[in-house]
Structures are given as C-alpha cells and as structure tokens.
Amino acid sequence: MNVIEGVVAASNARIAIAIARFNHFINNNLLKGAIDVLKRIGQVKDENITVVWVPGAYELPLTVCLLASSQKYDAIVALGTVIRGSTAHFEFVAGECSSGLSAISINSALPIAFGVLTTENIEQAIERAGTKAGNKGAEAALTALEMINVLEAIKA
C-alpha cells in the first residue's frame, strides 16, 4: 500500500499572500496568523514571502490568477473577510471570490488556500481571526504548506 501524506515544513517554498484591505481590522490578524505559521512551523524564509494588498475580496481571484501564472510561487494564500450584514452584496462577493479561487487552483494545479472568512456578523469574524475560534489565516497557511508537499510527493 502506498500512502501519500504531506509534512508541513517547506523551508525552500516561495509563498504569495493576497489579502483584501476591506475589513482590514480583521484581515491584519489573519495575516499575522498566516505569517507566524509560515515562518515558525513551515520554516519559510522571510524573503520568500510576498504580500499583495488589494481593495476587497472580489479582487482576490484576479490577483491570485496573475500570481499563479507568474510561476514564481509554490502556493498562494488568499485572505479576506466578507460579512453578510444586511446586504445581498455578500452573496456576490463571497460567491465570486470562492468559486474564482477554486477555479484558479484547479487550472493552475497550484495550492491556493482559502483564508477568506464568510460570516454573518463582525463577532463571528473576530472569533475566527485569532480569538476563540482560532485563526483562519493560520489554518490557510498550514493548508498551503501541507499541499505543497502532498503535490510534490504525488509528482515524484
């Protein structure tokens, strides 16, 4: 039996983080969590981490698409926060963001970790950005690291 599993250290990996400025109060904590995991657990070098800020979650797919096609990165982490509030805007922004990122990941065969919070309200977002429900940015970074190694092992 062959079992393929990825470790999380990826000391030579080059990682891009695409992050939305909208709800940056929350997103800054997702970014801190992601960078902490990349460096402390993944052993990724500071100079191999690139952070790209964009206006909102809706802009993440285009940005990630360009980052992926540059072939400069082994994985991309997308960070943002979409809060439902009382507007139908939520459905469009959250839906386009997640389906866009998923399509890019499959088309580019590159790990693209989904660290975009989609919540009913701001309290839920805060809970997932480094308080009682963990840190979605840190989780996304862990996923990116593991997927780099899983995909490498599949190709080997």
- Close Cβ partners of 95 (under 8 Å, ≥ 6 residues apart): none
- Does the active-site annotation cover 24? no
Q: 85: Cβ–Cβ under 8 A, 6 or more apart, which residues?
A: 121
Q: Which residues form the interface with ligand INI (CB under 6 A)? A: 20, 22-23, 55-59, 80-83, 89-90, 93
DSSP state of 98: H
Catalytic residue among 89, 92, 95, 102: 89
| 95 vs 134 by CB, closer to ligand INI | 95
In this complex, which beta carbon is closest to ligand INI, that of residue 38 or of residue 57? 57
What minimum distance in Å lies between the beta carbon of 20 and ligand INI?
Answer: 4
Spatial CA neighbour of 38 closest among 82, 80, 79, 99 = 79
Question: Which residues are the active-site residues?
Answer: 89
